[in-house]
Structure 1
């Protein structure tokens, strides 16, 4: 399972509406995400509107294409589009991918497999 992280910017005057929408995501949207290969999916929102998303998937591109083929995703993206700064594509296509630079479990596994090394 691969880990993916991304960012978007929510308009400051839309933060409360965005939070409200995500407090009760449509059940058919939740099912579509799970069925499309989105796992351990979380969104984190800073008070200034910086949105960080985290998701695990075998292949995020394939998961996005599977979601794009659903009717519920089209409705959800239309409903969410107004909340974001400077997007001319649906939100699920406009996020900026972030590069993972550290993962505790990966490094621990490597150390345990190859023996501890000290960098002192």
Structure 2
């Protein structure tokens, strides 16, 4: 099993909007994530720091690294850019996290 964890950061006052937008995740984006081999994907919020913690699992042979080239992914980033910290091109700023412990 391949698993990734990373963090992102919301802008102040945007937690409810972030949740609302993800609750209405576009079907074509959900399909692109599945097709790329992503499953069991969760995002958690630390309300004190506005840090989002994400963890996802990747199927064998995944193509998740190709997602930034997809138009639906870039449209989602544009859609989210006003409520979170982003890089040029509106890709969310992400900080990879080092796995330290796993319990199954």
Q: TM-score, normalised to structure 2's length? A: 0.85
Which consecutive residues of structure 1, in runs of 5 or more, have no partner in the other structure? 106-120
Residue 13 (structure 1) shift: 1.6
Q: Distance in 2 between matches of 1:9 and 1:71?
A: 23
Q: For 1:25, what is the secondary structure of its paired residue? A: coil
Quick check: which one's helix share is greater? 1
Q: For 1:104, what is the secondary structure of its paired residue? A: coil
Larger RCO: 1 or 2 (CA < 8 Å, sep 6+): 2
Q: For 2:13, what is the secondary structure of its paired residue? A: helix
Which consecutive residues of structure 2, in runs of 5 or more, have no partner in the other structure? none
Bigger CA radius of gyration: 1
Q: Distance in 2 between matches of 1:5 and 1:58?
A: 15
Runs of 4+ in 1 over 4 A off after TM superposition: none
Q: Distance in 1 between matches of 2:51 and 2:23?
A: 17
Question: For residue 4 of structure 1, what is the aligned residue in structure 2?
Answer: 4
Q: Per-residue CA shift, 1:19-59, capped at 9, x if unaligned?
A: 11011101111011000111111111122321000011147
Question: Where do residues 1-40 of structure 1 align in structure 2 (5 Å cutoff)?
Answer: 1-40=1-40
Q: TM-score, normalised to structure 1's length? A: 0.74
Number of residue pairs matched? 100
Once superposed, what is the RMSD of the aligned Cα atoms?
A: 1.8
Q: For 1:13, what is the secondary structure of its paired residue? A: coil
Q: For 1:101, what is the secondary structure of its paired residue? A: coil
Q: Is the 8 A contact 2:40 2:56 kept in 1?
A: yes
